[in-house]
Amino acid sequence: MAPAPSIPVTVLTGYLGAGKTTLLNRILSENHGRKYAVIVNEFGEIGIDNDLVVDADEEVFEMNNGCICCTVRGDLIRIIEGLMKRKGGFDAIIIETTGLADPAPVAQTFFVDEEVRARVNLDAIVTVVDCRYVLARLADSHEAEEQIAFADVILLNKTDLVTGEQLQEVRRRIQAINSQARLHETLNCVVPLQEVLERGAFDLDRILKIEPNFLSEDDHEHDDSVASVSLTSSVPLRPERFIPWLQQLTMERGQDILRLKGILAFPAEEQRYVVQGVHMLIQGTYQRDWKPDEPRTSRLVFIGRNLDAAALRQGFEACAVPVS
C-alpha cells in the first residue's frame, strides 16, 4: 500500500498586531491554484470564503510519556483528524496561533501524535514581527522571544515605520536569538510566497546547510536569555560519543533547548548525518553522501534559553577526538 501523500502544515506566529492576518490574507488571496485549510483562533478577520476555515480552541495538554516539557495541542490533533475526512478538499494547512502562544506545543504535536505524523508534516514556523515594537516586546514578553526562537522564517514587517538604524538593531537582536531563520524585510507582509510556504524546514532530507553564526565570538551581548549557540568541528565526531551526549543533553536540558539542528561528519562514514529537534524530541538520520569538494565539517546549532555556550562547546568537542 503506497503511503498517502503528506500534507504540509505552515504555522504562523507573531505578536498581536504584527501582521499575521495580513500575511494570511495575502497567502489566501494570491492566485496560486492551491486550496488551504486554515485553522484560526480569532475568526472573522479572514476575508476569503474559498478556503476552509476552522476555529481552534488552543487546548494545550501534557503528554503522559515521561517527558515533562512535552505539551501538545489536543485541539489540533482532533481538527486534523476531522479534516482528513474531507479527502481531496485541500492541499495544505495553515495554522494561525494567537499572539501570546508558545509555538512549542504546536510544533510538538506534529512529532508526538503518530496519526497526525502519518498524514501531515510540519513544514515551517513563520513569525511576523512588528519592527517598531519588537524590541519592547522582547523586553517584556517571554512569548515574543519564543516565537522568534522557534521560527524558520521571520518577516520583519512595517519596515517603513522605523529608521535604518533601528532596523539594523532589530536584525541584530533577532539574529542573536535565532541565527538560523531566514529574515525578510517587508511592508504589509509582501513577500514571495515560496519564501514562506513549502520550505521543508523540519524535513531532515532538506537540511542542506547551516548558516554560520554571523556574530564573532566576542560579539555576544546577552540582551536576551534566548540565544543561538553554533558549534563547528573539522575533526569528525565519534557517533558512539556524540549520540549519547546529545540524548543526555536533551533529556536534562530539553526544557531550555527550544530547537536544534545539525549536520555531522562521522569518521569513515560517506554520508552526512543530520539531526533536528524541538525541546526533548530529536530526530536524526543519514541523509546523503558528502560531495567530493564539500568540507567534512560538523555543525550543530542550539537555540535556547540560558544556554551555557562554554559547556556545550566542551561537550561537543569531547565527541571530536581523533581516532588514534
> CB atoms < 10 A from the CB of 320, how many?
20
Q: Which C-beta is closer to other proteins: that of 67 or that of 264?
A: 67
Q: Which C-beta is closer to other proteins: that of 65 or that of 324?
A: 65
b/e per residue 231-246 (b: at least 16 CB within 10 A): bebebbbbeeebbebb
Query: Is residue 86 a contact point for other proteins (CB under 8 A)?
Result: yes
Q: Which C-beta is closer to other proteins: that of 84 or that of 100?
A: 84
Q: Which C-beta is closer to other proteins: that of 44 or that of 192?
A: 44
> CB atoms < 10 A from the CB of 186, how many?
22
Count of residues touching other proteins (by CB under 8 A): 24
Strand order across the 271-278 sheet: 226-233, 298-305, 257-264, 271-278, 281-289
Interaction residues for other proteins, span 9-68 (CB under 8 A): 43, 54-55, 57, 59, 61-65
> What's the full length of the chain, in residues?
324
Give the DSSP per-residue string, 6-67. PEEEEEEEE-TTSSHHHHHHHHHHS--S--EEEEESSTT----SSSEEEE----EEE-SSS-
Query: Is residue 85 a contact point for other proteins (CB under 8 A)?
Result: yes
- Look at residues 250, 27, 239, 10 and name the one whose alpha carbon lies nearest to residue 127: 10
x/- track of binding to other proteins for residues 93-122 (CB under 8 A): --------------------xxx-------
Q: Which C-beta is closer to other proteins: that of 72 or that of 149?
A: 72
User: Minimal distance in Å, beta carbon 25 to other proteins?
Assistant: 19
Question: Segment contacting other proteins (CB under 8 A): 13-21, 71-79, 209-217, 312-320?
Answer: 71-79
Among 75, 102, 130, 146, binds other proteins (CB under 8 A): 75
User: Minimal distance in Å, beta carbon 218 to other proteins?
Assistant: 47
SS3 96: strand
- Interface with other proteins (CB under 8 A): 1, 43, 54-55, 57, 59, 61-65, 74-75, 77-79, 82, 84-87, 113-115
